[in-house]
A = this chain, B = another copy of it.
Amino acid sequence: MATTARKKPVKRRRSPIQSRGQATVDAIVEAAAQILARKGPAAATTNAVAARAGVSIGTLYQYFADREALLQEIGRRHVAEMQAVLAGALTGIDGLALPAAVDRLVAAIVAMHRVAPRLHQALHQSLARDHLDTIDAFEVAVEGMVSRALETRDELDLSHPELTATVLVRGLGGLIRTTIRREPERLDDPALALAMRAMILGTLGESRRRA
């Protein structure tokens, strides 16, 4: 797994060689993520980040070409974390019967978003429009994954697995994001999980080939 300050375009900077440098980079990224999560994108100025990380701005710019690069790195780490949680919560799901599998899926999606709700939201804001490729790519990947999983289950007999996957993933994602923004505590509400379950099962049932 690559680690630090690499960009695709033309934005490189020194990569840490000594462990001291690595620690510094981590401190910077974590400080930035914290500010982002607690006070939003506007508060995450490079100077503020450096201060919170306990390093000088000079040091920050030693590892990141510019503010944008820092944000992208945060996005990359966040996505990796979400992916890990998702994968973990989904292992062995193929062996389960449909209702149980759906329960698992709901739990997994919720868990994935619970990793860092505020940060997730902040990233969706700050990266939007420009380079939220990382997050987008992840979401696209999830849609593909779900699509394939749906195809595999013959019992479902969907007429358009991809479409169904798209609707489900984007719908659930939006639902959860909205809920996080407006009623964060509600994520733990079992009733909501049940409602999501109903939505998924209902959508699947209604999307059968001979519906």
Residues of A within 8 A of B (CB): 40, 42, 121, 125, 128-129, 136, 139, 160, 163-164, 166-168, 170-175, 177-179, 181-182, 191-192, 195-196, 198-199, 201-207, 211
Knowing A172-B171, A202-B202 are in contact, say whether A166-B182 is a contact too (CB < 8 A): no
Knowing A174-B170, A203-B203, A207-B202 are in contact, say whether A164-B195 is a contact too (CB < 8 A): yes
Interface of A is mostly: helix
Out of B40, B129, B198, which one reaches A129, CB within 8 Å? Answer: B40
Out of B42, B171, B196, B211, which one reaches A199, CB within 8 Å? Answer: B171
Chain B positions within 8 Å of A196 at CB level: 167
Chain B positions within 8 Å of A170 at CB level: 174-175, 178-179
A100 CB to closest chain B CB (Å) equals 16
Contact A206 B198 (CB under 8 A): yes
